[in-house]
Structure 1
Amino acid sequence: MYTFLIADDHPLFRDAIKQVVDERWPDATIIEVSTLEEAREQAIENDDLDIVLLDLNMPGAEGFSGLLGIRNAAPVLPVVIVSAEESPDVIQRALTCGALGFIPKSSSKERIGDAVHAVLLGKTFVPPELAEAIEEKRRVDDGLRERAALLTPAEVGVLELLTLGKPNKIIAYELDIKESTVKAHISAILRKLGVHSRTQAVLMAKTLDFG
């Protein structure tokens, strides 16, 4: 039968997830951990694990580091994020980082059970009511990446320094180029990214994880 790893630092929520698993899979083995380090150790050492239910914002996690750490430790082990976050951006990023499912903590017990069941069958689960917004976010991101791919290495270097808030004069100094060259690169960056200000370019760059 299945072996579940529930990783959440809140005992009450671990109990809630455990109840869902007990009701849906009464013969399952359930392992509970409250830290990322314990979760990672289980992912590495426990060959019986079938699925990990992971809180995205456990202490010690920065962004998606907890998810990435487990994915790197056990690449074939299915991981489902269970989080209070519900934005399409966060869900899309979690899927991009290797999660096979995303369950908002506001979900009903039935929804949680259905989501886990889908992942155990090899499917990907996202909240149906958010699926369209997530797909739109993916299309937008793909479009941004296509535009960013038009940038030359020199322009990427300038854009990375722009995201750090550095003025043209400092960028010129650090890249050992003329300030007029920096201005020319910025003009090309704005044109290729389809934006009208360096602020918009910086926002787009941060979306694409430049810098």
Structure 2
Amino acid sequence: MDKKSFMNELAYHLRELSSHDRNDILQDYEDQFKIAEIEGKDEQSIILELGTPRVIAQKRLADLNISHFDQENRYPAEPSSNPSRSPIRSFVFALILIVFNIVIVLGPAVALVAVWISVWAVAMAFSLSPIGWVLSLFWRPISSILPEFFIVLTLTSIGVLLAIVMIYVTKILFFAVKGYLKWNIDVIRG
């Protein structure tokens, strides 16, 4: 892949953005190419350092979506005479939310995180079980290799499937926590 095809592919993956945002991002990477060329690097090494255009575009789109999401969901400035925005009211809501979060939310949240970590650990252990099995073949006689092979194959399959499911669960939990924190901030602001 050369610079031109890299930039074309990046532009293609950024097609959802406005032309202004897309051109800003493309100009950033054009500048990175120029700087790297001044440093004496060739196009291939620059592209290897930058990564694939698809991954770059996904990261940039995620960054822009989060910033646009935050900007769109802010309340317009209201006059300070509005009692719903008073500092005392915000302080009271903050105290109520702190108590609510500690008493009601903290226990289930800790349990959920513990289960999340445990399932990830099981998924990784099952996925890596072939390594332990192969190493165990060096320290003991090989008597029943075929049944063990199928057991390890089953464990590995379950581990990989669990890992795939946990990737989606992790994304859902991330957005749920982000939404809950945003809701807390919105309640405090009034």
TM over 0.5, yes or no?
A: no
More helix by share: 2
TM-score, normalised on structure 2? Answer: 0.28
Structure of greater relative contact order (alpha carbons < 8 Å, 6+ residues apart): 2
Q: Compare CA radii of gyration and give the structure with the larger one.
A: 2
More strand by share: 1
